[in-house]
């Protein structure tokens, strides 16, 4: 079992075992689920609220970036979490931009991913890791 889990749940061994079991389950089930979805989902789909989905994601990333800045300024223990969330959101945004675009838009999306979204995600991830190291060990 991970060396970090005992520190996270030191007062709750049952919770520690449950958390470990859930993560193992997700690691095993998600690839199976993805293979199933690959077989049943149509290659094209019309989605409701498409504009709101993208606007909401972009605004959410703006809020996350602002929260990372505030957390950095305050030397907050939340900095690694917020920076990690921003990195993950930017990576997902890049993936969906590329995978849902077509034609000339695909080249633009690839360029945006390679030269804007993914580099900023790497910066955010680096901030999160370094802030976590500066915070020291948990417990």
pLDDT digits (tens, 9 = 90+) for 79-134: 999 999 999 999 999 999 999 999 889 999 999 999 999 999 999 999 999 998 88
Phi, psi dihedrals of residue 116, rounded to the nearest 5°: -130, -70
Compute φ and ψ for 101, nearest 5 degrees.
-95, 165
Q: In the structure, what pLDDT confidence band is assigned to residue 45 with cuts at 50, 70 and 90?
A: confident
Give the global pTM.
Answer: 0.82
Buried b (16+ CB within 10 A) or exposed e, 98-109: beebeeeeeeeb
Nearest Cα residue to 83 out of 128, 30, 38? 128
Can you tell me which residue has the tokens 């609220």? 49
Instruction: Centre a 10 Å sphere on the Cβ of residue 112 and count the other Cβ atoms it contains.
Output: 16
Q: How confident is the model at residue 139 (pLDDT cuts 50, 70, 90)?
A: very low
Alpha carbon distance 134, 43 (integer Å): 45
């Amino acid at each position: 079992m991970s060396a970090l889990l005992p520190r996270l749940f030191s007062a709750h061994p049952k919770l520690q075992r449950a958390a470990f079991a859930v993560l193992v389950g997700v690691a095993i089930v998600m690839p199976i689920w993805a293979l199933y979805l690959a077989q049943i989902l149509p290659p094209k789909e019309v989605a409701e609220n498409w504009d709101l989905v993208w606007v909401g994601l972009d605004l959410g990333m703006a809020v996350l970036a602002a929260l990372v800045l505030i957390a950095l300024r305050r030397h907050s223990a939340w900095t690694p979490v917020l920076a990690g969330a921003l990195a993950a959101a930017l990576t997902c945004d890049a993936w969906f931009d590329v995978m849902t675009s077509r034609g000339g838009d695909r080249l633009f999306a690839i360029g945006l991913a390679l030269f804007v979204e993914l580099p900023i995600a790497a910066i955010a991830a680096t901030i999160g890791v370094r802030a976590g190291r500066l915070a020291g060990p948990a417990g």
